[in-house]
Amino acid sequence: MVVTKPRALFGYIAATVAAFIFGVNGVVIKLLMDGTGIDGFQVTFLRVVGAAVLMGAVLLIRDPNALRITRKQIVPLIAMGVVGVALLQATYAEAVYLLPIGIALLLEYTAVLFVALIAHFFFREHVKSRIWVSIAAVLIGLATVAEVWNSTLNVEGVLWALGASASLTTYFVLGERQTGVRHPMAVGFWGMAVASVFWALFSGWWTVDPAVFTRVVPFSADADGIAGPAWFLLVFIVVLGTFTTFTLGLWSISVLKATRSGIVATSEVLFAFLAAWLILGETLNVVQLVGAGIVLGGVILAQSARDNRAVETDLALDTTEISRPKESR
């Protein structure tokens, strides 16, 4: 179906808004952890539970049949929920707490390269030769951002970010192949639901005093600046930073070609740097900014290396028209 210009324009707007919110979300997570003392695992538990409830409610109202799963889908959905959602959200939360947010997101974004390589070597998909240029650009850019000659980055934070990259790769690979036969939001719901069960066992959520969410916390690096209740930050993370970005991204890829949607999604990195600078005062030197630009260029190349397929950091979706499972007869 040919996409009309007005519809395509709204698709670009939706994708950009989703990228903006996702970029800001890392800052909000950091403020919540600093202000309340809860750790990345506990933030992740609250985030995935809230998102699962919202997604489940939407599906129950709009399409209850989409929630059905078959036996063959159980194991992949559990794997995606544990590795691609539970561990992804937790490793990212820990990474942004220890690293400048933009750098954490750049490291996580290397998953785009790994997905393209896996698609080529394991699933025999055609991948354009530009992927090799992309890999070289990302490696050089990351080395520059990290200033490996000075070792200025927190090593633990780098390891958490690379763990997030590995989890995101799993999320993409399993998610792409699940959404070919399932409603994408149903895949998101089951992923969040499995992650909720996982972190209900291991996050230590029961040690969190609910009163910390009524605590007034700063909404920026300026202790004397704007402040408000911690629960407001949590609501932002769940409703806007997770559910809304998912919904907007889902709609945008239904009206835009995969490569275009994926390239727009890379603006998340720019928004993350901007938000961290404006709100937290996190800055990079000139050399690191050049390195960040090289990494971002490499990621964009990788996004366009697969034929009409691309990936987004907040969505593990088949980037073709949204398909629903056929009703059983």
Which residue spans within 41-139 are E strands per DSSP? none
What pLDDT was estimated at residue 164?
Answer: 92
Mean pLDDT of 263-292: 83
For the chain, percent of residues with pLDDT exceeding 70: 81
| Residue 274 reports pLDDT greater than 70 | yes
CA distances from 112 to 90, 257, 266 (A): 19, 17, 10
For 173-199, the pLDDT digits (tens) are 776 555 455 677 887 889 899 999 999
The answer to whether 174 and 79 are in contact (CB under 8 A) is: yes
Query: Do the beta carbons of residue 199 and residue 11 sit within 8 Å?
Result: no
What's the whole-number mean pLDDT along residues 271-285?
A: 87
Model pLDDT for residues 59-102, shown as the tens digit of each residue: 999 989 888 888 888 888 898 889 888 998 899 999 999 988 88
Domain coordinates of the chain in residue numbers? 5-303
Of residues 115 and 100, the one with the higher pLDDT is 100
C-alpha span between 200 and 241 (Å, rounded)? 21
**Tell me, what's the pLDDT at 314?**
47
The pTM for the full model equals: 0.79
